[in-house]
Amino acid sequence: MANIYLARVRSDFGASRLVVIKEVLPHLRDDDHFADMLIQEAKLAAQLSHANIITVEDLGRHDGTLYIAMEYLEGIDLRDVLRQCSKRKIRLPLGYSLTVMCEVLRALDYAHRFSGHDGQMKGIVHRDVSPSNVLLSFDGEVKLCDFGIASVMTAEGVDADTIEGKAGYMSPEQARGEAIDTRSDLYSAGILLWELLNGRRLYRSRDGMALIDVAREAKVPALREQGLMHEAKLHALVMRALSTDLDERFATAAEMHAELEDYCVGAKMLVTPMRLGRWLSEHFEDDRIQQRRARQRAVQVLDQGPLLIMDPISEASVSSSDAGRRNEGSPPSSREPSPAKAVGVPLSRRGEENAEIRKGAVPSAIVAAIAALLLLLLLRAMGVF
């Protein structure tokens, strides 16, 4: 769906900070329907401000390219944590798993209840509560990202493989294409909890069935017994979240959070963020070092000269009268320059940049080939494949 860059935002007074920029892929940005949906969802997500939610800092266009600027977090997503644990034959301790889920439910509770400046509930549904969207910092923070962005995945032009890849964490009503509400996110959270307890995926393609068909069927095996304290209570909680009957499912994220937190307290499994951070640092120190080295290289590249300057578009620069049908995110010709500029380089770029590349003397096709090669090297260094 997007190319991901590490960027630095600088103010006129020299203050700077790192952000992540998601640049929508060309074949999607040229789809007006897709772009309009993405802009609307990103605008809504940008209003969210919570300790457990990645902040959307800006939405804009640069030379026709649609991008989203987001908070940068030094850490690792839950998918990679589980993948690396499996590879290294270690297990994410249950107390840490339950603590992560408590924090995810706090994020969902805030978003589901969010009211705008008019005091009206916005009815925000995440639609993609999955391990790749749960970010864990090495300081023990747990943050949910990409709120609402998954709704654009059904837009025309998005390939079936991308949608299929999201199906493993869909509620049955979402997989069937029916209208959904906040309880769909709770089902997805239930899938996460089931997998953390069982140590394997809940939905898998089988007997020639596509993953999305398995999600529509929504058959949930019983949780395996592990001799945990008050285990029946925990299993009942998970199965309630995974109920196909909406009326039997938890009504709110707050209700599910309260029951899970009560279990953690009673079973003495509640873990502080600092302990979670220490555990992550202890087991993923190599990943942390690689991230910092890659970040330092990227910052060095930025210091050597801008590869790309993006002029962020604030919501204030788009009048309310033309925000509806106009190609939103395109800068009005009369607007004043934004006071901050983001200078970005691909997160995959490694080493020092060639001077000719910085000056734009090398054809774009060669630059793209070099960037692809560097991405491959970085992914291999991080043990992705």
C-alpha to C-alpha distance for 362 and 383, rounded to whole angstroms: 31
Catalytic residue among 128, 146, 185, 287: 128
Contact between 370 and 357 (Cβ < 8 Å): yes
Contacts of 30 (CB under 8 A, 6+ apart): none
| Chain-centroid distance, C-alpha 355 | 34
Contacts of 8 (CB under 8 A, 6+ apart): 16, 17, 18, 19, 299, 302, 342, 343, 344
Q: Does the annotation mark 109 as catalytic?
A: no
Contacts of 266 (CB under 8 A, 6+ apart): 229, 230, 233
Q: Which of 168, 172, 202 is nearest to 184 (CA)?
A: 172
- Residues forming the active site: 128
